[in-house]
Amino acid sequence: MSSDSPSDIIAGLRRASRRTTLAVPGSSVKMLAKATGLEADEVFLDLEDAVAGPAKIEARSQVVDALSAGGFRARQLAVRVNAWDTEYTVGDLTEVVSGLAARSEGARAEGGAGRQVPLDTVILPKVREAGEVAAVDLILRQLERTHGLIEGAIGLQPQIEDGMGLINVDAIATASPRVVSLVFGPGDFMASLGMRSLTVGAQPEGYEVGDAYHYPLTRILVSARAHGIQAIDGPYVKVRDVEGFEKAARHTAGLGYDGKWVLHPAQVDKGNEVFTPREDDIERAAEILAVYDKSTSVSGGARGAIMVGDEMVDEAGRKMALTVRDKAVAAGIWPGP
């Protein structure tokens, strides 16, 4: 169990690698079991759209069973609860956290700071305003106190899925210190705007110039970066079209997103590849940082602009190299400390 403070735990969750986030229906025992062996960076057990209404209550206990049993290769574990426009949100939060706490009785963090449960974050869908995030924060805080958990250690990932959510994205990003990422939900976003397409993420009929999703993707990314959190792209629903998935993933990876949701095991390896810095970029970033640090030191002449190969590098170039380094560190492949 961690002896870190809640703020340290949340900071770690904001740095964690989320190249791929695998969605798993919480009502499918078979798929829950299969998900344990997949190499996605994050797995979320879904209580929302992937679970039919009559199965939602029972799925809560199945999610608790799966998380309590452990064995996941994924480094991050999450649960997506139902949105506030349903009758399930409070029950989802209460039964999952309480169930996990009951399974882990007795183990305390060093210094008596409280226990942790095998749940890193809660994904909150269809967020339209900051108050919805703040409400989940308060419920989690009471549950943490009730069960002797580390208060404030469970992170939040709000999904932006309609125009109102996009308008309020900055307030949503800062509604709770628990927020570790913003997630774009393309399907509901398309429906809310009336886009002429029946395929999630596809360009709408008649829209022939540019990318219909560039504005929401960029707006979410700008807000995430302004507030020091991650930006995660939503799913590509043609699960057998690996080439199409790769194209969509490279699009948002190039824009600067940290990762993408995946719906099928075939998408996991390709997603991890796309959102991992390339070997030549890592080598180049390491070279830039080493040469720049030396050249800007007193012993190196205190030069602020230098040549690295055939390119001039200044402080802006150093920051770009740091971005590559941070992504490589999160993926566990940075060659230095």
- Summarize the confidence of residues 245-250 as an average pLDDT: 94
Count of Cβ atoms closer than 10 Å to residue 15 Cβ: 12
Query: In this predicted structure, what is the pLDDT of residue 105?
Result: 66
Q: Is 205 annotated as a binding residue?
A: no
Are 22 and 270 within 8 A, CB to CB? no
pLDDT of amino acid 111: 47
pLDDT at 35: 96
Greater confidence (312 vs 151) lies with 151
Residue 127 to residue 163: CA distance in whole angstroms: 10
**For residue 1, what pLDDT band results from cuts at 50, 70 and 90?**
very low
Percent of the chain with pLDDT over 90: 71
Q: Which residue has the tokens 């025992």?
A: 29
Which one is predicted more confidently, 82 or 290?
Answer: 82
pLDDT category of residue 34 using cuts at 50, 70 and 90: very high
Give the pLDDT confidence score for residue 326 in this predicted structure: 87
What average pLDDT score do residues 301-319 get? 79
More confident: 31 or 326: 31
Q: Average pLDDT of the chain?
A: 92
Q: Does the pLDDT at position 309 exceed 90?
A: no
Three-state secondary structure readout of the chain: CCCCCHHHHHHHHHHCCCCEEEEEECCCHHHHHHHCCCCCCEEEEECCCCCCHHHHHHHHHHHHHHHHHCCCCCCEEEEECCCCCCCCHHHHHHHHHHHHHHHCCCCCCHHHCCECCCCCEEEECCCCCHHHHHHHHHHHHHHHHHCCECCCCCEEEEEECCHHHHHCHHHHHCCCCCECEEEECHHHHHHHHCCCCCCCCCCCCCCCCCCCCHHHHHHHHHHHHHCCCEEEECCCCCCCCHHHHHHHHHHHHHHCCCEEEECCHHHHHHHHHHCCCCHHHHHHHHHHHHHHHHHHCCCCCCCCCEEECCEEECHHHHHHHHHHHHHHHHHCCCCCC
Q: 281 or 125: which carries more pLDDT confidence? A: 125
Is a pLDDT exceeding 90 seen at residue 273? yes
pLDDT digits (tens, 9 = 90+) for 117-153: 999 999 999 999 999 999 999 999 999 999 999 999 9
Query: For position 308, what pLDDT does the model report?
Result: 78
At residue 110, the pLDDT reads 47
Residues 226-230 have a mean pLDDT of 98
**b (16+ CB within 10 A) / e for 76-89:** bbbbbbbbbeeebb
Q: How confident is the model at residue 333 (pLDDT cuts 50, 70, 90)?
A: confident
Measured distance CA(299)–CA(15) in Å, rounded: 33
188 labelled as ligand-binding?
Answer: yes
C-alpha distances out from residue 41 to 64, 114, 136, 248, 262, Å: 20, 26, 24, 18, 11
pTM of the model: 0.90
Which one has a higher pLDDT value, 292 or 272? Answer: 272
User: How many CA atoms lie within 13 Å of 71's alpha carbon, on the beta-carbon side?
Assistant: 10
* Cβ 137 vs Cβ 92: under 8 Å: no
Q: What is the pLDDT of residues 105-126, one digit of tens each?
A: 654 544 456 899 999 999 999 9
Mean pLDDT of the 211-232 span: 97
The CA–CA distances, whole Å, from 258 to 83, 176, 182, 255 equal: 24, 21, 10, 9
* CA proximity to 265, closest of 60, 73, 17: 73
pLDDT confidence tier of residue 3, bands split at 50, 70 and 90: low
pLDDT of residue 294: 78
- Taking the C-alpha atoms of residue 272 and residue 256, their distance in angstroms, rounded to an integer, is 15
What topology does CATH give the domain 6-274?
Answer: TIM Barrel (3.20.20)
Candidates 106, 13, 122, 144; CA nearest to 60 is 122
The residues spanned by each domain of the chain are: 6-274, 279-331
Q: What's the whole-number mean pLDDT along residues 200-223?
A: 90
pLDDT digits (tens, 9 = 90+) for 37-83: 999 999 999 999 999 999 999 999 999 999 999 999 999 999 999 99
Residue whose C-alpha is closest to residue 277's, from 259, 298, 290: 259
Q: Percentage of the chain surpassing pLDDT 70? A: 96
> 161 labelled as ligand-binding?
yes
